[in-house]
Structure 1
């Protein structure tokens, strides 16, 4: 059989899936020599085998395969004399079921919690709370299943256990501290049992659980070089030409307008003495009509004299 070449990081949990499956299946898989993440996966040669430049990618005699779960499935089925895919159709379906559960419910939420804290995405507290809540829900379901099962499917290690353990490894090694995982004792027992199996330990090595949750890294903006501004010579400021003040013109006083003449002013002075008439009127006790009133007095509006009309 032609050698299988795996492009990817040697400490990447997605590479572990293929390598552990290869150990159980008895298949030889070699790493691509001199692979450098961020460099090798950007070359035109690599983009031909995976257009989006992600790892891992497995080169096979029949062509490349990318996506870690698909690669692990391929390696598992290269030899049919293993039980990694179960011994019946229903076991095969259950293995696929737990592979999907592991990817969508466990791995996805661990990454949503862990990646923003180490600067691989924007940190949003509500998003983190949602990821932790979803992860706890998934771990609770897994814990319930493992309460009465040593493995996910059947009575031996299957591909579902390999993928589940590798996904849990990311969490246990980086962010799932003891006080968090202690809520799920059957998941703890399951994980430590699997990572201490010879084929797991050969690939992963000794696993140590995270002691602290990584602190949030503050996003640092790249420093921009300061632009040098040309120096401007100090020139004397020119005062704006001030307009000469105009002499204040003295306000001309308007001549008073002549008052309109009253037509009554043209009449001759009245011969009547009003005070004498008042005394006569007040002192007359009898013969009032004959003595005091010898006529009707009309007082014209705004008039200066009285006009008497005698009987």
Structure 2
């Protein structure tokens, strides 16, 4: 079965399916000459995903979009793996951690990081809320990992793949060592995962962010203007 993943080679949401394919023993090709901002706006791409977001998986039966769904599809192509755990409760726990990391980690990392680089309006109170919510999620994950090597049972599952990819965005973009040192078990878990051979084949050498990216100037001015607008007038 020929499978083609339409995504850039460094897209963390694309990493989910690509690492899953390594563990599932599934052949997965990256779309050749994919250019973000061009390829995903083509009529052919928009037929597969009308929103134009990546990744999209092209299969002989049709296209699939949404990164977690794509990873689930790839994991199920071959039944001789334990990526969904070895029991019904194991399966439930896999899904539990996928949802947890999407809501508590990935969403808050994006709320923190993207406004700083110009992909959204930067507002300091919103950033503070995102960081606070992210810390709550990381604290919960840290507590669980204090007594667990993996998220589900005793081997790598789809939960570990997706959670690690969501952590990857934070670790490499805005979560510096000073930030993550509060969560030592998350640190241990993340570096253990990304140095597994099948992860490393896709991710390469992973380097933690040295600093939180500065706010782009246009966003800084917009935030200042918005704050000024809402200040009460002096009588």
Q: TM-score, normalised by structure 2?
A: 0.92
Larger Rg: 1
Partner of 2:87: 88
1:238-263 deviations in whole A, cap 9, x for unaligned? xxxxxxxxxxxxxxxxxxxxxxxxxx
Q: Quote the offset at 1:22 in angstroms.
A: 0.1
Write the mapping of 1:42-191 to structure 2, written as runs, cut at 5 A.
42-191=41-190
Q: Quote the offset at 1:110 in angstroms.
A: 0.4
The alignment status of 1:202 with 2:201, answered yes or no, reads: yes
Q: Quote the offset at 1:62 in angstroms.
A: 1.1
Q: Quote the offset at 1:112 in angstroms.
A: 0.3
Write the mapping of 1:32-51 to structure 2, written as runs, cut at 5 A.
32-51=31-50
Q: Quote the offset at 1:72 in angstroms.
A: 0.2
Q: TM-score, normalised by structure 1?
A: 0.70
Partner SS, residue 65 of structure 1 = strand
Q: What root-mean-square deviation, in Å, do the aligned CA atoms of Structure 1 and Structure 2 show?
A: 0.8
Partner of 2:227: none
- Structure 1 stretch displaced more, 43-52 or 156-165: 43-52
Q: Quote the offset at 1:33 in angstroms.
A: 1.5
Cα separation, 2, equivalents of 1:178 and 1:51? 39
Partner SS, residue 64 of structure 2 = strand
Runs (4+) of structure 1 moved beyond 3 Å? none
1:67-110 deviations in whole A, cap 9, x for unaligned? 00000000000000001110000000000000000101100000
Cα separation, 1, equivalents of 2:29 and 2:177? 35
- Structure 1 stretch displaced more, 32-41 or 85-94: 32-41
Instruction: Give structure 1 stretches of 5+ with no counterpart.
Output: 221-311
Partner of 1:237: none
Q: Quote the offset at 1:195 in angstroms.
A: 0.2
Cα separation, 2, equivalents of 1:212 and 1:33? 33
Cα separation, 1, equivalents of 2:114 and 2:175? 13
Partner of 2:223: none
Q: Quote the offset at 1:119 in angstroms.
A: 1.0
Q: Quote the offset at 1:65 in angstroms.
A: 0.3
1:192-230 deviations in whole A, cap 9, x for unaligned? 00000000000000111111111111117xxxxxxxxxx
Cα separation, 1, equivalents of 2:33 and 2:216? 31
Partner of 1:275: none
1:152-188 deviations in whole A, cap 9, x for unaligned? 1111000000000001001101110011100000000
Partner of 1:292: none
1:5-54 deviations in whole A, cap 9, x for unaligned? 11011100001000000000000100111111111111111111111111
Cα separation, 2, equivalents of 1:215 and 1:102? 25
Cα separation, 2, equivalents of 1:130 and 1:209? 23
Instruction: Give structure 2 stretches of 5+ with no counterpart.
Output: 220-235
Partner SS, residue 219 of structure 1 = helix
Partner of 2:224: none
**Bigger helix share:** 2
Partner of 1:291: none
